[in-house]
């Protein structure tokens, strides 16, 4: 690199919007990959950047005060601007609009994550909560400590995790789900069905096919007229990309309001990139665009973004999606991406504490759900990455290591 190129590189300004895992890891990856320009991370929350998974566990139960990242931002030369709300971006001007004034950039990374979907009519009702931020967890701590009756709306991943914590704290918990089963949006009926028993085993009342008509202080009313006492209501009905502030920017968004990134995580605007929960990317492995709202995506994507920003040609971003959930005394892991037409294979008895489900597409493993079988999960990720064909009969035998079912 010439002296002039080095000088230009040193003067480049990278601004990252979002101080969560994806934003922070992008900043760190830039330094690790040798970027010498200025790096600024802008976050809406006033807290030092922190990890989110502990919010529904240790922080919520009061066994930890927080989950701040163990990163020396000053030593890395990463500037943090916290408590700053971003209101828009003007790509043609290379300027970001914030409540504190405009911020110029040479490269901009969008890492604003996702925000919880609110229950219609519940806004402003005392005792209604979501669980997404550190402040949310702090507000919910006394609810659990005082052992209130809790109604959880939504039997998805976050609903199950909160219900688990609430029961551990000694609360009476009712989970209300509009669908006919837990995790209806994530798993087929036959896979989710065994999980229904987990709620009763944990002492949680699960009401499926139940819709909330309205919420009042101290009570939730269902469509069938049932009144559920509720010292607190926790809404866990999903999340959407936090991209409303991009309206009018010209940056292309998808049907779920996510930023449309390409296979190097570039957006439709020059010098603007997107990573984490706020962005979807095209997957050559699965032949469709993926929007992945999970921690692992926020860890893997930043390395690609950093390489692209620096000007290198990174490998195409096409990871095997992965996430985990701890609920009702079980460790649930999922890798890959299944589609309705994939062949489903049971690997073990779902009435037992440990079992696995495999999905095959054209003979190769496309996805796997493991309950209490972490070895299956570890082997599955490698098999999915390599598109290795499996023998369905061998894959169905839980006594045989999954990798031994490979036919190539």
Of 178, 207, 235, which one is at a domain's C-terminal end? 235
Domain match, 248 and 149 both: no
Q: Which CATH number do you get for residue 66?
A: 3.50.50.60
Are 111 and 243 contained in the same domain?
yes
Q: CB under 8 Å to 2, separation ≥6 — which residues?
A: none
Regarding whether 245 and 109 lie in a shared domain, the answer is yes
* pLDDT at residue 48, rounded to an integer: 93
| pLDDT one-digit tens code per residue, 365-376 | 999 999 999 999
Above 70 in pLDDT, residue 184?
A: yes
Q: Please indicate, yes or no, if residue 317 is contained in any of the structural domains.
A: no
Asked if 71 contacts 28 with a C-beta cutoff of 8 angstroms, the reply is: yes
Given 310, 341, 356, the domain boundary residue is 310
Q: Residue 218 forms beta bridges with which residues? A: none
**Same-domain pairing of 122 and 203:** yes
Res. 9: pLDDT tops 70: no
Position 63 pLDDT exceeds 90: no
Report whether pLDDT(258) > 80. Answer: yes
Confidence label for 214 from pLDDT (cuts 50, 70 and 90): very high
Q: What is the pLDDT of residue 4?
A: 39
Question: What tokens appear for 63 in the block?
Answer: 């066994």
- Decide if pLDDT at 251 tops 80: yes
Least confident of 64-68, 103-107, 329-333: 64-68
pLDDT the model gives residue 3: 45
Is the pLDDT reported for residue 172 higher than 50? yes
Contact yes or no for 279/241 (Cβ under 8 A): yes
Asked if 93 and 133 sit in the same domain, the reply is no
Distance separating alpha carbons of residues 385 and 336, to the nearest angstrom: 9
Q: Which residue has the tokens 């943090």?
A: 80
Considering the domain architecture, whether residues 243 and 199 belong to the same structural domain is answered as no
Within-domain flag for 44? yes
Q: What is the mean pLDDT of residues 235-258?
A: 96
Query: Rounded CA gap, 56 and 156, in Å?
Result: 13
Question: How many whole angstroms separate alpha carbon 64 and alpha carbon 55?
Answer: 9
pLDDT on residue 65 = 67
pLDDT of residue 54: 78
Position 8 pLDDT exceeds 60: no
Q: What is the pLDDT of residues 269-288, one digit of tens each?
A: 999 999 999 999 999 999 99
Closest to 80 (Cα-Cα) out of 107, 108, 48: 48
Q: Are residues 100 and 201 in the same domain?
A: no
Tens of pLDDT along 286-344? 999 999 998 899 999 999 999 999 998 777 999 999 999 999 999 999 999 999 999 99
In a domain, 321, yes or no: no
Domain of residue 399 covers 329-405
Give me the percent of the chain exceeding a pLDDT of 90.
86
Stretch 60-65: mean pLDDT, rounded?
74
Q: Within 10 A of 111 (CB to CB), how many other CB atoms are there?
A: 32
Residues 251-281 as b or e (16 or more Cβ within 10 Å = b): bebeeebbbbbeebbbbbbeebbbbbbbbbb
* Pair 300, 100: CB distance under 8 Å: no
pLDDT at 2: 44
Dist CA 33 CA 303 (whole Å): 9
Residue 315 lies in a domain: no
Residue ending a domain, among 235, 258, 290, is 235
pLDDT value for 121: 87
Answer for the pair 334, 344: CB distance below 8 angstroms, yes or no. Answer: no
Structural domains in the chain (count): 3
> Mean pLDDT across the chain, nearest whole number?
93
Alpha carbon of residue 55 to chain centroid: 13
Instruction: Kindly state the helix (H) or strand (E) to which residue 21 belongs, with its residue range.
Output: helix 21-32
Q: How many CB atoms lie within 10 A of CB 223?
A: 12
């Amino acid at each position: 690199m010439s002296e002039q190129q080095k000088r230009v590189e040193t003067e480049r300004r990278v601004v990252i919007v979002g101080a969560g895992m994806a934003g922070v890891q992008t900043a760190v990856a830039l330094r690790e990959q040798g970027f010498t320009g200025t790096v600024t991370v802008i976050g809406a929350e006033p807290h030092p950047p922190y990890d989110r998974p502990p919010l529904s566990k240790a922080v919520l139960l009061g066994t930890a005060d927080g989950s701040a990242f163990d990163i020396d931002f000053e030593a890395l030369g990463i500037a943090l601007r916290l408590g700053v709300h971003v209101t828009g971006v003007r790509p043609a001007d290379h300027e970001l609009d914030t409540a504190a004034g405009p911020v110029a950039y040479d490269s901009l990374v969008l890492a604003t994550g996702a925000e919880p979907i609110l229950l219609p009519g519940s806004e402003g009702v005392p005792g209604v909560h979501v669980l997404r931020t550190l402040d949310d967890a702090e507000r919910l701590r006394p609810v659990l400590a005082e052992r209130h009756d809790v109604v959880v709306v939504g039997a998805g991943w976050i609903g199950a995790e909160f219900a688990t914590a609430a029961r551990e704290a000694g609360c009476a918990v009712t989970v209300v789900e509009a669908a006919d089963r837990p995790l209806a949006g994530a798993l087929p009926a036959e896979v989710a069905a065994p999980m229904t028993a987990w709620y009763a085993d944990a002492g949680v009342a699960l009401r499926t096919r139940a819709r909330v008509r309205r919420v009042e202080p101290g009570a939730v009313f269902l469509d069938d007229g049932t009144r559920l006492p509720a010292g607190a209501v926790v809404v866990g009905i999903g999340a959407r990309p936090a991209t409303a502030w991009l309206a009018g920017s010209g940056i292309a968004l998808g049907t779920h309001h996510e930023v449309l990134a390409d296979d190097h995580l570039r957006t439709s605007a020059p010098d603007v990139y997107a990573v984490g929960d706020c962005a979807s990317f095209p997957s050559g492995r699965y032949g469709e665009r993926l929007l992945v709202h999970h921690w692992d995506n926020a860890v893997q994507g930043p390395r690609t973004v950093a390489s692209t920003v620096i000007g290198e040609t990174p490998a195409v971003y096409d990871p095997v999606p992965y996430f985990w959930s701890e609920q009702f005394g079980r460790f649930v892991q999922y890798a890959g991406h299944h589609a309705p037409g994939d062949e489903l294979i049971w690997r073990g008895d779902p009435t037992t504490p440990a079992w696995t489900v495999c999905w095959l597409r054209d003979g190769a493993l496309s996805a796997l759900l493991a309950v209490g079988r972490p070895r299956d999960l570890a082997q599955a990720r490698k098999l999915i990455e390599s598109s290795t064909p499996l023998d369905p009969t061998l894959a169905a035998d839980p006594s045989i290591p999954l990798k031994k079912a490979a036919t190539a």
